[in-house]
Every structure is written in structure tokens, then in C-alpha cells.
Amino acid sequence: MATSVNYGYVNARIRGMKSRLLGRELLESLILKPDTDAIITELGKTPYREEIEKAAVQHAGLACIEVALRMDIARTFRKIYSLFKKEMDEKYARILLNRWDVHNIKTILRGKNIHEPSSEILGCLIPAGQLDEATLVELVKQPDVRGVIDLLATWRIIYSLPLTQHFKEYSEKRDLAVMEYALDKFYFAIALDTIRGNTDDDRIMREMVATEIDVTNIRSVLKMIRDRIPIEEAQEFLIPGGAVLDEKRLVLLVKAGTIKDAMKQLAGSPYEFLGQVPEETFKQEKISVFEKELERFLIRKGTGWFFGDPLSIAIAIGYVWAKFTEVTNIRIISRLKMADVAEKIIREELVYV
Amino acid sequence: MVDWGIPIGAGIAFGLGAVGTGFAQSKIGSAGAGTIAERPETFGYMVVLVAIPETLVILGFVVSAMMIIMLK
């Protein structure tokens, strides 16, 4: 079924933007740089030049790279949003980019929950959604979790709804997972509701969102097994609407009791790779290893859309994930270089698309 | 009595060629505009690509002209 978006124009622009993404050779040359200043100089020769020059006025070293990357990704994703807005069909762009709003709010709440310094929290944010950098800075300035939620409610940002509803439960249990789950559920419910149609774009978006739901649910299952959460309580934290894993199958995963047994049950599904991590990961119950594998899976799935229908939303999905991966890779390189980590380990941490 | 068959056939041959060209150029033109907006250095290529569908209408014109001239 046809859509109102002129994909010929929009996707040509997105493809043009993709041609400016940094290749593997450039990432390799960044890895081989001796220090952060050399990385800044190298980035100054790439499409990041403008942002690097702006950031260098006020910041130096790692902070300069972080600020430049934040400015660049915010500008890029805002551009994509405006392209779709001009085409009068920005609902897909909204779903794609609001994912980072949820990520940012969760990061701020986590930071405030453990009283992290504002600069640390700010460094972990990706201002790629509808909440711009100024909004995020104001949120980070709030003294505690309550302050963040109150400010979101004052600005009538929709994400304040699930947070306000579950704040009492959070206060009683002092468990941030309650609010994080509510936020995820709220975002996915809105996303799935928006793309209920029968167009090809709706179908593509549904597939991507459903995969993200699966990944979120697997993460929750892993944490629940590790923390020995009772099955009755665990059921409350599962998000409906996954692509492969329905609620019944997720409950069986939780019931497996150990991470190894749960991951064995994923055999035959697209998440089979989780059962192939090193043996000690199962014994030590290192959730971070599984989370990293799931993140890689999501990135590959997301960037893979770039080879989908050239006159559909697939190109935008592919680009958004490719850009996010590039920024993440540069962040990883600059931070690990700062910490003087070996080049071999840096290469292992990167995701090439 | 006037034989309308030949001019109508010539008109269809030319008209459909023109419609085809217009459709192709609208699609290539919008994609080309997007490409030039991001990469101005591709302007030359885009002019050539947008011009290629003109061959359709030129062929239509040639066919219609041949019909009028040769089928008198």
C-alpha cells in the first residue's frame, strides 16, 4: 500500500548522508592514534570537523570529543526528523528517534538514583530524540529522581505519565527497575499503536519494534534469573508484543532457573547466539556480556535494513542505526584510548557495520 | 472522408511516450534533488540521469512522425 512520503527524495538524502559515515579504515586509523589530541585532529579532517571546532572552543581532550559527538548526532537525527516532517509523515521518525528519549530518561534516572555527578550523566546521554540537549541538561540539573519526574510533568512530556504512576511503588521498594519497566512498556505500547496499519512501512517498523521488545524482555529475563525473582513477580516485568518470544515462552525462560538453561531454550530462535557465549559467563552470571551481544544483534538487525526496500522507511532505520553505531564506536575508541587500553581489546569492543 | 486512425495512433504514440517520460523524470528528479542537496558535486551526473528518460518521448515523437509521413 502506498504511503504519503516521497521516499525518492528523502531516501536519496539519507543515502547521501550515509556516504559520509566513517569507514572501517578511518576507525582503524583512530585506534592507532597515540592519544586523545591526535584523535581530535583526525576527526577534524572528517565530516565531524564543524562540531569538533565548535566543541574545542570550550572543551579539551575527551570532553571535546564527547561534546562534538553529541552535537553531531543531535543535528543529524534532527535533520532526519525534519525531512520526514516536511513530507507530512513523521510518525516513523518519531518512533525511531524517541527510542533515544527513553534511553536518556532512564540514564538520568539511574544517575540520579546512585547520585552520580551531572557531568558523568551528561556524558552518557545521546540527544537524538525529541528531548533536545538544553532539555536534557535541565533534567540532569535536578537534585534527585523526584525532581526529574516533576520537571518532565511540568513540561508535559508524555514520559512523565508512567513515571508519575509508578513513583510511589519506586519510593517503597527503592527499585528503579519498576519505573524503567513502566517507561519501556509505555514507549512500546505507543509505538505499536502508531504502526498498526497495513502499509509496508508499518510492517517494517513493527518488525523492528517487536525485535526491540524481544531484546528488552531477554535482558529482563536474564536479570530476573540472576536476582532470583519469583515467577509471579517476574511476569509483571514482561512486555507484550515481541517478534519471536511471547509471554508464555518468556515465562518458561524465567522458570528455567539458571541462565544457561534459559539460553538453551532459545535454540532455533534468532537469539540462539546467546547460548554460545564462553562457559564462564554462565557460571559468573555476567549479564553485561549478554547485553553486549544483544546490542550487537540489534545494531546488525537495524543496519541490515539499509539493504531493504529502497523506497521505504527501511533506509532511514538502517541509517539511524549506522550513525548511532559510528558515534558509539568513536566514543569507545576515545574512552579506551584515554584509559590506555590495548588496541586489540579496543577492536574487540567495536561493532563494524 | 477523413481517416482519423493515423493521427490518433500518432497522438497515442507521442502522448504515452511523454507520460512515461514525465513519470520517470519526476521520480529521478526528486531523488536527484535529494542527492544534490547532500552532495552538490553530483550535479553533473544528475543532469544526465534526469535527461535519460527524454529518449522515451523522442522515440514516441519519431514513431508518430513516421506514422504520419509513411502511412499517408
Greatest pairwise CA separation for chain A in angstroms = 56
The topology under which CATH files domain A91-178 is V-type ATP synthase subunit C fold (1.20.1690)
- Of B27, B2, B13, B26, nearest in space to B57 by CA: B13
pLDDT, tens digit, for every residue of A197-220? 888 899 999 999 999 999 999 999
* pLDDT exceeds cutoff 90 at A258: no
Domains of chain A, residue spans: 1-89+319-353, 91-178, 195-312
Interface contact A80, partner B, CB < 8 A: no
Interface contact A13, partner B, CB < 8 A: yes
Domain that holds residue B49: 13-70
Per-residue HEC secondary structure of A1-29 comes to CCCCCCHHHHHHHHHHHHCCCCCHHHHHH
CA A281 – CA A278 distance, rounded (Å): 6
Whether residue A51 contacts residue A68, with contact meaning beta carbons closer than 8 Å, is answered with: yes
Whether residue A304 contacts residue A323, with contact meaning beta carbons closer than 8 Å, is answered with: no
Rg (CA), chain B: 17
Interface contact B49, partner A, CB < 8 A: no
Per-residue HEC secondary structure of A12-75 comes to HHHHHHHCCCCCHHHHHHHHCCCCHHHHHHHHCCCCCHHHHHHHHHHCCHHHHHHHHHHHHHHH
pLDDT, tens digit, for every residue of A306-340? 888 888 999 999 999 999 999 999 999 999 999 98
CA A240 – CA A181 distance, rounded (Å): 12
- The complex's ipTM works out to 0.76
* pLDDT exceeds cutoff 60 at A2: no
* pLDDT exceeds cutoff 60 at A82: yes
* pLDDT exceeds cutoff 80 at A66: yes
pLDDT, tens digit, for every residue of A18-51? 999 998 999 999 999 998 999 999 999 999 999 9
**Is B6 within a domain?**
no
- Pick B31's closest partner by Cβ from A12, A17, A19: A12
| B12 CB burial (10 A radius; 0-12, 13-18, 19+) | middle
**Residues contacting residue A199 through CB under 8 Å, at least 6 positions apart:** A1, A2, A3
d(CA B67, nearest CA chain A) in Å = 37
Q: What is the CATH number of domain A195-312?
A: 1.20.1690
What does the pLDDT read at residue A1? Answer: 45
C-alpha neighbours within 13 Å on the C-beta side of residue A130: 16
CA A166 – CA A160 distance, rounded (Å): 10
Nearest residue of B to residue A311, measured between CA atoms: B31
* pLDDT exceeds cutoff 60 at A3: no
CA quadruple A208, A325, A349, A301: dihedral, nearest 10: 20
**Is B2 within a domain?**
no
CA A341 – CA A336 distance, rounded (Å): 5
Residue A231 pLDDT class (50, 70, 90 cuts): confident
Mean pLDDT of B3-13: 91
Q: Which residues of A touch B33 (CB under 8 A)?
A: 9, 12
Q: What is the CATH number of domain A1-89+319-353?
A: 1.10.132.50
**Is B65 within a domain?**
yes
- Of A66, A79, A104, nearest in space to A327 by CA: A66
Distances A286 to A219, A227, A282, A308, B40 between C-alpha atoms, Å: 12, 12, 7, 35, 49
| B69 CB burial (10 A radius; 0-12, 13-18, 19+) | exposed
What does the pLDDT read at residue A39? Answer: 95
Could you tell me the three cell numbers for A45?
579532517
d(CA B56, nearest CA chain A) in Å = 21
Q: How many separate domains does chain B show?
A: 1
Per the CB < 8 Å rule, is A11 touching B39? no
Q: Tell me the pTM.
A: 0.87
- Of A76, A184, A61, A73, nearest in space to A126 by CA: A73
Per-chain mean pLDDT for chain A: 89
- Of A310, A320, A318, A309, nearest in space to A8 by CA: A310
**Is B5 within a domain?**
no
* pLDDT exceeds cutoff 80 at A88: no
Q: Are the folds of A91-178 and A195-312 the same?
A: yes
CA A123 – CA A160 distance, rounded (Å): 23
- Pick B30's closest partner by Cβ from A8, A15, A17: A8
CA A23 – CA A239 distance, rounded (Å): 36
What does the pLDDT read at residue A163? Answer: 94
Q: What percent of chain A has pLDDT over 70?
A: 98
- Pick A8's closest partner by Cβ from B31, B37, B38: B31
Cα-Cα-Cα-Cα dihedral sign, residues A293, A251, A172, A213? positive
* pLDDT exceeds cutoff 90 at A185: yes
Q: Which residues of B touch A315 (CB under 8 A)?
A: none
Cα-Cα end-to-end distance for chain A: 30
Q: For cell 543532469, name the residue.
A: B47
Mean pLDDT of A225-243: 86
pLDDT, tens digit, for every residue of B22-60? 999 999 999 999 999 999 999 999 999 999 999 999 999
Per the CB < 8 Å rule, is A17 touching B35? no
